[in-house]
Amino acid sequence: MKVLKKAELKLWVYSGDIRNFSPNPDYILTKTKLSSETTIVFEIAELIKDFIEIKFDGDYNTIIQSMWAKYKIERTYEDDIDNSLSTTSYSAYNIAFRGYGENGDGINPELSPDLLMSNRVIYKKCGELTSFPLYVKSPDGVVDVEYYQGSTALTSEEYIDSTGRYSVAQSMALNPSLDAVATIDKTASQNSSSDSSVLVSQVPRDADRAIYTKYDGTTGEIPIVCVEECKNVSYKVSFLNKFGVMQDIWFTAKRTDSMSSTREKYKRTKLDTSNGITYSKSAHQNVYLENQGKEKLTMNTGFIDESYNEVIKQLLVSEYVFIQDKTRRSPTNLTEYLAVPLTVASSDVGIKTRRNDKLIEYTLEFEADSDFIQSVR
């Protein structure tokens, strides 16, 4: 009987054409199975994550939020009778997102094959564009989206794709008895960028519902609620959600701004001994070694649907958060506003329900990602 002895994993993470990967892998991992084990596990999520740097300036057409990941596994078996060695190999391509599974999802959770958001209704400022993130690759994804205002069709977007079937793996296990690898099923375009697997559709300004059709012919409907705020200015925040794609959330109610400062200083002598002993009454005695400020803003969502509870949770732990700055334009698309990075400062937020709270709204505190005084080095 052949028994698994060791395994070697070669891993490539890259962008562009799926076929154009380097001859040299980014990682080579080798593990030898312990006598007490039946499985060899390679945890590759953190390795891949290091390569996925989100690039977003407000233009959804040029956003970078995924990479290709190719792996090749070579397994070495030992015959328990004559101790002879034999090998088998397996390779696959993957779409890698900077997403995550929650603790209750277990090992290798499968992400959504169609809607790349947790809410089942979209709130937006009236007359403004907002995003609708979709997975658009066959055979699982969305093939068509139609936007309506009442019974009037506004726009229709159709996605035609020719793909091969691949796998996305958060970790890979080699079981000698089953000779299998645990993976997440996804699809990948054979000759285009990995970001073409995701469409961040722009919801028309006057749409009140979206109807999407999947490759298997099934359909779904997402209500779109237009919020008209007369008193307050509305702000659009974009963040990387649990699916690893950019999503918008609107803060349509009250906003307040504040600023904090930090100083490191020492006291110097003011004495002038060049001509007797005197000192200037106008000279500063305190000298600053470090003087910096940080802008903060607190915003309220207004009343939203209970399904936005998941959106709020994902926003709180998101590593990439941006606010739309309507005074500046995106350098890659002058029709879009500039996305300015933020940090979520709120760390303890009570989750609300209609049963307990009747109306649901959230107030969150944000902090500017950059210092007030330019400190880029």
Percentage of residues in the chain having pLDDT higher than 70: 90
Q: How far apart (Å, rounded) are the C-alpha atoms in residues 186 and 183?
A: 9
pLDDT in tens, 68-96: 999 999 999 888 888 888 989 999 888 88
Q: How far apart (Å, rounded) are the C-alpha atoms in residues 93 and 11?
A: 10
pLDDT of residue 327: 92
pLDDT of residue 176: 34
Only one residue has tokens 């902090």, namely 367
Provide the 8-state DSSP code for 129.
-
The domain spans of the chain are: 2-257+294-368
pLDDT in tens, 143-181: 889 999 998 988 888 776 544 333 333 333 333 333 333
Please give the structure tokens belonging to residue 320. 């990439």
- List beta partners, residue 166: 186
The most confident of the ranges 57-71, 168-182, 294-308 is 294-308
Q: Which amino acid is at 242?
A: K
Q: How far apart (Å, rounded) are the C-alpha atoms in residues 99 and 111?
A: 9
The distance of Cα 247 from the centroid of its chain, to the nearest Å, equals: 8
pLDDT of residue 139: 74
Q: Which of 31, 53, 54 is nearest to 42 (CA)?
A: 31
Please tell me the least confidently modeled range out of 4-13, 170-179, 244-253: 170-179
The phi and psi torsions of 316 (rounded to 5 degrees) equal -65, -30
More confident of the two residues 136 and 71: 71
Q: Would you say 208 and 222 are in contact if contact means Cβ atoms under 8 Å apart?
A: no
pLDDT in tens, 176-198: 333 333 333 333 333 456 667 77
The CB density around residue 282, as the number of other CB atoms within 10 Å, is: 6
Q: What is the largest CA-CA distance in the chain?
A: 100
pLDDT at 57 over 90: yes
The phi and psi torsions of 147 (rounded to 5 degrees) equal -110, 140
Only one residue has tokens 């004559």, namely 82
**Span 96-117, average pLDDT:** 84
